[in-house]
Each structure stands twice: as structure tokens, then as C-alpha cells.
Amino acid sequence: MCNAIRVLTHDAKEEDVKRFIAESQEVSTPIDKHNVDAVILVSVSANDELYRKIRKENAMNEALRELMKDDIEEAVEKAVGEAVEKTKILTRFEDGMSIDNIAQKTNVSIAIVNQVLKENGMITE
């Protein structure tokens, strides 16, 4: 797993990334899988273009998808939850509900309600 260090740099080489992905398929313990996931997340953020290129290659794409399956599912669930929450906030505001009541009904802080409303151009403060 010496490739783990190589893939963490901003200028990782394609062969090192591919080798790391292949080696990571061999880990079996939950802690090792967690560590591999962490390395991949950092490496992807440091080498986004390289990973996009590698993803186009089917075998590597499948390996990456399998490795990151739990993270992807968690991210999707979080994104959906946030979208639903934002939609509720926006809809309630459009229906004339006060910011205080929106915060209370959606179980979020007034600051979050204000942030969502500002991000969506509903208020300017």
C-alpha cells in the first residue's frame, strides 16, 4: 500500500492511482476499507481531473464505484435530505410563514432559515 502516499499528492501519477485502486480491492477488514476510502476521498479532491480520466475506463470506474459505494449512498441521502429541507423552508416562506415559525416547524435554527432564503434570493439581509 505504498501507493497510498503517492496518490495523496496533487500531482499523482495515473499508474500509481490505478495500482492503488487495484490494491485497495484486496483489503478485507472494515478498518482497512475505511482507511482506503479516506485515502481515495483525499486523493480525488487533490487529483480531480486524473480521476475523471480514470473513471472513463470501465474496470477502474467499477472498482472506484464499489469502493466508494457507502460514501456515495450517504452523500446522496444527505443531499436529498438537505434539498427536502430547503424546499420546505422556501415553500413555507412563499406561503407567508414567518422565519421564526419556519425554523420551529423545520427544527432548524433561524440562521439556517435565513441562509437558505438568502441563497435563493428570497431575502437580502
9: phi then psi, degrees, rounded to nearest 5: -80, 160
pLDDT at 69: 79
- Which residues lie closer than 8 Å to 8 by C-beta, 6 or more apart? 39, 42, 43, 46
- Which residues lie closer than 8 Å to 72 by C-beta, 6 or more apart? 65
41/106 Cα distance (integer angstroms): 31
The model's pLDDT over 85-115, given as tens digits with 9 standing for 90+, comes to 989 999 999 999 999 999 999 999 999 999 9
Start-to-end CA span in the chain (Å): 51
Sorted by where each begins, the domain ranges of the chain are 3-67, 74-119
pLDDT at 109: 94
CATH of domain 74-119: 1.10.10
Nearest to 4 by CA among 37, 28, 29, 31: 37
pLDDT at 48: 85
Percent of the chain whose predicted confidence (pLDDT) is above 90 = 26
- pTM for the predicted model, two decimal places: 0.46
pLDDT at 38: 83
pLDDT < 50: residue spans in the chain = none
pLDDT at 101: 96
pLDDT at 73: 81
Percent of the chain whose predicted confidence (pLDDT) is above 70 = 94
